[in-house]
Structure 1
């Protein structure tokens, strides 16, 4: 009996979905794989059906209509029958021993979520030449509460492009069922962050460990690199909803408030850009009609732009070490 299921949302991924699927099927412990095709217009679903004819551990289903990655993941989650479930993006892949190591750690520590630090690579780059997302040093096992999780999604604390909302944890299926925990289908940016933070508000036992072998391929067309202003607004609203929850500690409330300030500033700035590009005074006024701390940041960014000064990143990015030096996986 398999202990873990890997769920993969798929949209127009014909060029790389087989690599993701094979990496999940070829783990050192048996795994179920569920791929939900989100109405691809290429040959993705036909390819998945062909693989499934010879691989009984693969289930490939197709959404009745395009609903985005959260809807596809939720459809997959409803089909999971194993004790553990893990996300995998269609353009990423796993090293062979990842799931065994993570299941052993999670069961040994009685966790609900365990996330290993991701190794990010460029297309065609070997894992050894990639970089760790969160830390450049071995961390062992780090317990993660709500306040720290939220902070580690801010460049002020984690550094630019080190946000842990990008991690892909192994999750205890019973916890998801008990808490009725699913991804928000109205969010297409930072939906992972919102889902993980919500799990922590519900009492999930979380740890982050050193890389076990999730390889994230940095694709140029990724949604996280090109998103509409409305997507940021959804994240602002999500943070405001978190702040309404009873029982938050002072530290948790402060961390979420700081994250809200950051997202609200990004939303106001993008609204200003949209207003300038479309010559829409109402949008420009909306960007400035924010709390003073937010509108002040927008004015500062405008001044930097007019003076031809760099606007972003506000926190400088540090030099990164290659994964072969930092991952602890024996990469060469």
Structure 2
């Protein structure tokens, strides 16, 4: 296992046993991490902020340390070898003491009052809120972004709803429930022996949430917005490798081995596994074509019907989409400056 070298500002806050530990896995995030840390330290419920510098080649570690507010709540751990977000988060969870854990991506931020709203009730093991998605070139002064007055409209996710809510659809803006960033009960994780799957660099949140709900987690969602996500073309989630898709599909197969899952839950998992596996087969076909030529790619496609159908469908759809855009039949999809992961009702309208 790669060595980790801790570089710390000691976590010495005496209320650490009562609050939230915010975990930030970071790689080459020097430009954005000060705002992320500041938004976490602003929240009175936050007892610890643990940054894990995942072998950055820039000065992420030093910039993170410079963001310390002097409260003794910030700690920085550095990996000497890149191990991925799952390993970084697991290391931070082991190093933390707080009863609740909250994940914050290094280029995102919390809206003021987020935890006050989530802790308005404690009838949950996981509690997530709405996400404000802001296009990078339209990002305002993050310190001044306020939560919109959305009604909470609380609900609990069941297993099938969560799994089906992670199947993306063409020409529909992404809104998968795996993007949610819940506050997590440490006691629940420990009781069920749950942690992030370190084989995954794509869908690691989805896999943990799915496994938790399968273990009986009460996963509460409110429509009030407390998390801001900056949408960047160069984000890590947008640069996943083809093999990451295969590992995610394999993770669904592992979830299918949970004996206690009813058949309807397994049917949802099979739908998600097929969806991800088909994306993998298309991406792998394109990789083989680029690396070894069309003949090798055709051999891969015709090796089985399971390969051929999603490849033909995917290639045909991509070609038609490109044709429609060139001819103006379908306009190129524009990313709005701001949108929300979940549709919500303005509280003022109630």
Question: Following the alignment from structure 1 to structure 2, what is the Cα–Cα distance between the partners of residues 61 and 145?
Answer: 35
Deviation at 1:219, TM superposition (A): 1.8
Match of 1:231 among 226, 240, 244: 244
- Given that residues 116 and 167 in structure 1 are in contact (C-alpha distance below 8 angstroms), is that contact kept between their aligned partners in structure 2? yes
Offset at residue 67 of structure 1 (A): 0.6
Q: Which runs of 5+ in 1 are unaligned?
A: none
1:145 is aligned, of 143, 155, 158, to 158
CA drift at 1:49:
2.6
Query: Helix, strand or coil for the counterpart of 1:177?
Result: helix
CA–CA separation in structure 1 for the residues paired with 2:308 and 2:324: 18
CA–CA distance in 2 between the matches of 1:104 and 1:67?
Answer: 36
Cα pair distance change 1:283/1:323, threshold 3 Å: closer
Question: Are 1:119 and 1:211, in contact at CA under 8 Å, matched by a contact in 2?
Answer: no
Shift of 1:261: 1.1
For the 8 Å contact 1:152–1:158, the answer to whether it is kept is: no
Q: Which residue number in structure 2 is paired with residue 220 of structure 1?
A: 233
Match of 1:201 in 2: 214
Which secondary structure does the structure 2 equivalent of 1:104 belong to?
Answer: coil
1:280-309 CA distance string (max 9 Å, x none) = 4445433443454x6323222334456665
Calculate the TM-score normalised by the size of structure 1. 0.85
What's the counterpart of residue 78 of structure 1? 94
- Alignment partner of 1:43 is 2:43: no
Mapping 1:77-116, distance limit 5 Å: 77-105=93-121, 107=122, 109=123, 111-116=124-129
8 Å Cα contact 1:9-1:73 kept in structure 2: yes
Secondary structure of 1:155's counterpart equals coil
When residues 41 and 304 of structure 1 are mapped into structure 2, their CA distance, relative to the original with a 3 A threshold, is closer
Matched residue SS, 1:212: strand
**C-alpha RMSD of the superposition:** 3.2
**Alignment correspondent of 2:7:** none
Is 2:74 the counterpart of 1:58?
A: yes
Q: CA deviation at 1:125?
A: 2.2
Q: Could you tell me which of 59, 63, 67 is aligned with 2:83?
A: 67
**How far apart in 1 are the matches of 2:145 and 2:68?**
33
Partner secondary structure for residue 95 of structure 2: coil
* TM-superposition CA deviations, 1:22-44 (whole Å, max 9, x none): 10000143432111111212111
Number of aligned residues: 318
Picking from 125, 130, 139, the partner of 1:125 is 139
Which one has the bigger strand percentage?
A: 2
Task: Work out whether 1:255 is the aligned partner of 2:255.
Answer: no
Distance 2:69 2:240 in 1: 37
| Shift in alpha-carbon separation, 1:152–1:158, aligned structure 2, 3 A | farther
Structure 2 runs not aligned, ≥5 long: 1-14, 326-331
- How far 1:131 sits from its partner (Å)? 12
Check conservation: 2:111, 2:147, Cα contact below 8 A. Answer: no
* Aligned residue number for residue 309 of structure 2: 296
Q: Which residue is equivalent to 2:168?
A: 155
Distance (whole Å) between structure 2 residues aligned to residue 46 and residue 322 of structure 1: 31
The more displaced of 57-66 and 73-82 is: 57-66
- What residue in structure 2 maps to residue 166 of structure 1? 179
Per-residue deviation, 1:16: 1.1
From the superposition, tell whether residues 317 and 202 of structure 1 become closer, same or farther in structure 2 (CA, over 3 Å).
farther
Aligned to 1:266: 279
How many Å apart are 1:85 and its aligned residue? 0.8
Which of structure 1's runs of 4+ aligned residues deviate more than 6 A? 127-132, 316-321
The CA distance in 1 between the partners of 2:77 and 2:108, in whole Å, is: 19
Aligned pair in 2 of structure 1 residues 217, 329: CA closer, same or farther (>3 Å)? farther
- Give yes or no for the alignment of 1:31 onto 2:47: yes
